[in-house]
Structure 1
Amino acid sequence: MKVHLIAAGKFHDIDYARLELLKLLAETPRIRTSVASDYADLASLEAANLLITYTCDLVPTRDEEVAALEGFLTRGGRWLALHGTNAILRFGADGVVDTPDEVPAFTGLLGTRFAGHPPIAPFKVSVTRDDHEMTSGLRDFRVEDELYLTHRTADIEVLMHTSFTGRCDEFRDAEWDEAQVPVLYERAVGEGAILYLTLGHCRGHYDLLPVSPFWPHPQRCAWNYPVFHELLRRGIRWGLAHAH
C-alpha cells in the first residue's frame, strides 16, 4: 500500500509532525511512503492509495495540481487532511490576519476553509456520529489545542464537533457563535473520500519566523493526547481499507 505524505508550511513545527506521522505509518509494514513539501509531485499522488497532508498556508499553485487531487479522489483515492491543510493566511497592515478564499477550487474540494481560531485553551470535543469506524467506541473528550473555525464550502458529514461563541481578535473574521464546529468530518468525492481532522497544532522555538524570532514555549497540543494518536491510526486504517 502506498501513502503520499505532504508535510510543509508556515508557523508550525512541521518536522515534528512529519516525523510523528512517519512513525505511525511505519507501524504497518506493508505501507511504503513518499514524502513531499508541496503538491507538485503528481506522479507520487497518482501511485498512492492514501494522501496525508499536514500543512499551513500551503496550497496547490497550479490548476493541474487541483485537478490531480480531484482525479485522485474521483478514482477512489482517500485523503487524510490534517490541521491547517485548509488554511490560507495573509497578514494585514494592521497586523490582523485575513483568510482569503484565494484558491476556491482547492477549498471547495476540501469542504471547508479556515477562518480563525481563539487562543489555545482546553475545549470539549463531542462525538457527533458514533456509528462510524472513526468514532466507534470513542467518548467525548477534552483537549488543549487550536479550536479551528471554518466556513463550509461543500457538503460534509460531521463525525466529531465542538462549539464556540466569542471573538478571535487576531483574525479579521472575529465574531463567532457556532453550536457545531466540525473537528472531524468526512466528504465523499466520486469513488473516494476526504477525512479532515482539525486537531494537531504544534510549534517549536523558531516556527514563527519572520513574525517572531523566538517562541519561548514549544507547543504539542493534541499530540500529547492518546486519543489523537488513536484518531490518526484509525484515519490511516480508514484510508487503506477503502482506497482503490
Structure 2
Amino acid sequence: MINERPQVELIVGGLHHDMNAVRLHLLTLLDEYELARVGCHSDFGNGSALADADFLITYTNNVIPEGAALKALEGFLDRGGRWLAIHGAAALTCFQPPPVDIGGISLPGLTDTPDLAPEYMALLGVRFVSHLTQQPIVVRRGPAAHPVTEGLMPFEIVDEPYILELRGEGDVLLESRYTGEAPGYVAGPWLDDEPRPQLVHHRHGAGEVMYLAPGHACGRYDLRPFIDEVPEQPGPWADEAYIGLIRRLIAWGMRC
C-alpha cells in the first residue's frame, strides 16, 4: 500500500438500483477496518481521487470513466491498486426503440448493450451483455483457485442471472449455471447449459480486479419513470452467505 492508513475510494451511483441501501451496506462493512479512510463518490469525476487510493470499490450502472478519469483508473491499476467491481459496474446500456411493456414496466425500447467502452471493459476484464429474469441461482467455486474463495461452500441467492463476456485473461473463481429467456433485452435467449462466470479475477499492470456479478438491489421507487412503484428487492444483500463473500473481497482489497 502507498498509505500508512489504507485509502479506500467508494463509487456508488447510477440509476434503477437501490444505491442508498448498497452504499450503506458497503460503508458498514468498511467500518470494520478502523484504520481505513473512505472517500464516497457517485462517479469517477476527473479521477483525482484515485491518485492516492489503495483500494477502489464500485457499485454502478451506466457510470463509465472517460478521458482523464479513465487514464487515472488505468494508472491506479498500473501501480498496484486493487479494484472490487460489483454487478452493474460492467454495464453500459441503452434502449432500442420501439417502446415495449415488460411485465407492466413501460420501457422506451428493448435494452441493448453495445460495446461502446472497450478500454474500460478491458481494464475491468468483463462486459455485461444481458440477464435473465430475477430468480434463485446457486453459486459455487469455479475452475480457478484463490484465497478469497478457499473453502467457500455453494450458496443460493436471488439475483439477476448475468450473461458476461470475458475481456483479456482472467480467472473464474465462482460460477453458476442457468438457461432461459432475457425479457426486455436485445441479446437472448440463453439456452446453452454451460457454466456462467460470477466472480472473475483479472490483472492489469501491477494491479488486480475482482468483478462480482451478483448484487442486484432495487427500492420501491428506483424504476421510475418506467413504473411508479415496485416491491422492494434487497437481492443477495439480505443473504448472510453473500455478505460473507463481500467481507472476503474487502479483506482482499485491504490486503488482510
TM-score range, shorter chain: over 0.9
Per the alignment, residue 225 of structure 2 pairs with 210
Per the alignment, residue 182 of structure 1 pairs with 197
In the alignment, is the contact (CA less than 8 A) between 1:4 and 1:50 conserved in 2?
yes
In the alignment, is the contact (CA less than 8 A) between 1:126 and 1:139 conserved in 2?
yes
Q: Does 1:228 align with 2:242?
A: yes
Per the alignment, residue 146 of structure 1 pairs with 160
Per the alignment, residue 15 of structure 1 pairs with 20
Amino acid at match of 1:181: R
Amino acid at match of 2:9: H
Per the alignment, residue 39 of structure 1 pairs with 44
Distance 2:28 2:143 in 1: 28
* Aligned-residue offset at 1:70: 1.0
SS in 1 for 2:119: helix
When normalised by structure 1's length, the TM-score is: 0.94
Per the alignment, residue 55 of structure 2 pairs with 50
Distance 2:244 2:238 in 1: 12
Per the alignment, residue 79 of structure 1 pairs with 83
* Aligned-residue offset at 1:222: 0.6
Q: 2:212 aligns with which of 197, 200, 210?
A: 197
Q: How many residues align?
A: 240
In the alignment, is the contact (CA less than 8 A) between 2:144 and 2:171 conserved in 1?
no
1:123-171 Cα shifts (integer Å, max 9, x gaps): 1112115742111111112111111111122221000001222221311
Q: Does 1:89 align with 2:93?
A: yes
Question: Structure 2 stretches of 5 or more lacking a match?
Answer: 1-5, 99-108
The percentage of counterpart residues that share the same residue type is: 38
Q: Does 1:237 align with 2:241?
A: no
SS in 2 for 1:165: coil
Amino acid at match of 1:70: E
Distance 1:44 1:76 in 2: 15
In the alignment, is the contact (CA less than 8 A) between 2:47 and 2:70 conserved in 1?
no
In the alignment, is the contact (CA less than 8 A) between 1:129 and 1:135 conserved in 2?
no
Distance 1:23 1:236 in 2: 12
* Aligned-residue offset at 1:41: 4.6
Distance 1:33 1:178 in 2: 41
Distance 2:115 2:70 in 1: 15
Q: Does 1:124 align with 2:124?
A: no
Per the alignment, residue 156 of structure 1 pairs with 170
Q: 2:112 aligns with which of 95, 98, 106?
A: 98
Question: Structure 1 stretches of 5 or more lacking a match?
Answer: none
In the alignment, is the contact (CA less than 8 A) between 2:138 and 2:154 conserved in 1?
yes
SS in 2 for 1:230: helix
In the alignment, is the contact (CA less than 8 A) between 1:130 and 1:136 conserved in 2?
no
